[in-house]
Structures are given as C-alpha cells and as structure tokens.
Amino acid sequence: MDHPTPTPRRRLRALTRLDVSAVSIARREVVWLWSVVSFIAVTLVAVGWPVTASGYGTHPAAAMAFTLVNCAAAILAVRWPWAGLGASVAGSLALMVVTAGAAPEWPWPWPVTVLLAHCLTVFVLALRHSWYWAASLWSVGAMLTVWAPAILSDGGHPSAFANGVVLVSLSGGFALVGVIMRLWSLSVLRMEQAERLSAAETSRRRELEERNRIARELHDVVAHSMSVITVQASTARYRQPGLDEAVQSEFEEIAASSRRALSEMRGLLGILRGHDTAPTAPLPGLADVTGLIESTRASGAEITYDGAETGSGTEDGTGEGTEVSEVVGLTAFRVVQEALSNALRHAPGSAVTVRISGDGHELRVVVTNTPPGRDDEPTPGARLGLAGIRERVAAIGGTVTAGPTLDGGFEVAATLPVEDADPLPA
C-alpha cells in the first residue's frame, strides 16, 4: 500500500505532537523553540516599535528598523549563535543611541522592550548552544550598561544605574535557567538514545532466539531423516546381499549425496545460530563443479559439461584457465547447483548443458535444459532458489538472467566479476 506524500502541515503536526516514538526529542525541541521565540519576538516588535517612536521621540523608521534587528537576534540565535549575538549587540547599541535624549521618567539605557529582547537572546543562546555564547552576550550587555551613560549622556541619566542593575541581574538569571534547561534536555536526549539502543538490542536478541529456534526445528526435522537415508544407503549392500554392482553404486551415490547435504546443513545451522567461529570445512568452488555434475548424473540425468576455459579445468581435472577468488568460485558453484536442481525437478528427462567460461575479467555460467523428456509430474519447489541466487550474485556485483528458451526449455545465465569482487559470507 502506497503512503501519501507528507505535506508541510503533516510534517509540522508530526514534529509538534507529544509522541516520543514518532520524532526525536531534539527535533521537537527545535520546532517548539522556533515557534515560541518567533511569537515573543513579534510581540516585542509590535510593542517596542510604537513605544520607542512615541515615548522616546525617535523617528518611526529608525525605531522600526532597530527594533526589528534587536528582536530578530533571538530568532537567529536558535540556529546561528554568532548571528544572534551580533544582531543583539548592534540593535541594542543603536537603540541606546537613538533613545539617549529620553525624558528622566523613561528607563535608559535599556528600554523595557530592548531589555526583554536582550534577555530572550541570552536565554536562547544558553539553551541551544555552549555556555560561553550566553556568557559573552551577558558580558557585552554589562559593559554597555557602564559605557553608554558615560559616553552618550553628559549629565547622566537618573535611572541608568537601576536600569543597569536590572539588566545584569535579569539577563544573568535567564542565562542560568537556559543552561539548566539545556543540561536537562541533553540528559533526556541521552535517555531517549539509550532507550532506542536498548530496544534495538532487545530486537536483536529476539531475532537470535528465533534463529536458534528455527535451527533447532530444522535439525530435528531434516537431520534425522537425512541421517537415516545415509545409514540405509551405506548399509544396503550388507542388509541386502546379492545386489549387483550398478545398484550398489547407486546406493553409494545416494549415501555420498546425503552426507554432503548433511555437511552443508551443519554450516547453515551454524549461520542460523550466529556462531562467530569460522567453518572448518572448505567451501565448494569451481573445482567442485565437476564432482557436483558427476553426482547429479548418477540420478540418471543427461548432463554435458564444458568448463575447459576456467580455473576448474576440464571434466578430467586438467587444464588451466581463469583464476577466480573463493567468493566467485562459491557463487558459481551455487548457481550450477540450483540450476541443476531446478532442471531435475521441473524438467524430468531433459538434457542439461553446463557451460562455464571466463576471459580474465568476467566469469560466465550458463545452465540450459531442453524441454522435459518424460511426462512425470514436476516436483514442487519453494520458489526461493532463483531469488537466493540473484541475491548472492548481486552481492558481488554480478547479474543473473533466467527464463524459457525458444525450444521450450529453460536457461539460467550468470555473469560474475572476477576482479575486485566484494566479500560474500558463505
């Protein structure tokens, strides 16, 4: 089912809702801070502009421009501390200059709206960034409190000292609260990360438990039956005397195939159980394709093999050709194994041709079977073999094609890169 494309409204709703599992606490904190700071800044502009223009006798355009800069500092400080600090200092200093001739009853050098905007910026810097940004702005505010009356007011302003004390103490309190809230937010964020890590570990543990359960069931269901087949096939000549050589050879091939299947199943069980130890048995490669084909021929299948140009040599084990890594050799072996299994199951009585060739850069494996030669009912499969082969080949950068041929048969063709193949777990 396709999910609808998230709109900006939906994204904002997802960020602002109180659902810890949906969005990170840090992201929600930023969105809420942007919203609250923007609302307060707009309110301060709406109040500070007319107050500065009428109460302090400042030109409306200058009052508006400087108030916007001073109040925008808090919004900038959410993301860029240096921009917020610079805008706050520039806006405050400009407003001190234009309001220097204020009447004695009006607070100066820090008008109320300027003082509140300054404290808001200090709080945002302390909440969102390292403590020294808030400390720097607080220190600059304290210095402006001392320098502004001495430079801009000849006779001194009657409320300058009290106004400065209020600014220093109030902004210091905002900085302290911001630092405490920042530490609390970081602790909550670490707690959230710890919870997510714990949930991931729990999921991993449950996955391992499920894999162990599957491994146990696979062992109980398959291993016993395969062991019985092996024992029966190995002891047939002793339990049934008088068997001719052809029948005895057939039983030996069955025993060898079942032992090989048991060995591969043990490796699969080790993977399912998550064992860290490396398998002690060697993995099959190109050199083992000949043995695979010989064991498959024992079932009565007609198989033609052409692999003289590869590192596996010819059917008699001679010849030199393209050298491949263990990963490529294992992948080629699995491709041939799965293709032969499919041909035996779905096209009984067909003639199979296996061709393996290489040019030093690529290894090409082609398995083709003719239409079924008998009317036997095809053996059903799990329909996962070709999908697994595609995944295995794609993992080393190769390609696979599989489909019917013009004469009604079926062909599986895989192209494997010989050079710079990525490692692939067995």
Strand partners, 319: none
> Residue 378 carries which DSSP code?
P
CA 78 – CA 75 distance, rounded (Å): 6
pTM: 0.45
Phi, psi angles (nearest 5°) of residue 304: -110, 130
For 102-149, the pLDDT digits (tens) are 777 788 888 889 999 999 999 999 988 888 999 999 999 999 888 888
For 309-356, the pLDDT digits (tens) are 454 444 443 334 567 888 888 889 989 988 988 888 888 888 999 999
Q: What is the pLDDT of residue 106?
A: 83
Q: Check pLDDT > 60 for residue 8.
A: no
Evaluated on CA atoms 205, 211, 216, 217, the torsion sign reads positive
The percent of the chain in helix, strand and coil, each rounded to the nearest 5, is 65, 10, 30
Question: Which of residues 186 and 169 earns the better pLDDT score?
Answer: 169
Q: How far is CA 88 from the centre of its chain?
A: 41
DSSP alpha helix (H) spans, 300-412: 326-346, 385-395
Identify which of 311, 309, 351 has the alpha carbon closest to the alpha carbon of residue 330.
311
- Assign 3-class secondary structure to 42-59: HHHHHHHHHHHHHHCCCC
Q: What is the pLDDT of residue 419?
A: 66
Strand partners, 414: 365, 400
Q: What is the pLDDT of residue 27?
A: 63
For 15-43, the pLDDT digits (tens) are 444 343 434 555 666 778 888 999 999 99
- Amino acid letter, residue 203: S
CA 332 – CA 269 distance, rounded (Å): 22
Question: Are β-strands 351-358 and 362-369 bridged in parallel, bridged antiparallel, or unpaired?
Answer: antiparallel
Query: Residue 352: left if φ>0, alpha if ψ -120 to 50, beta else—which one?
Result: beta
CA 91 – CA 84 distance, rounded (Å): 10
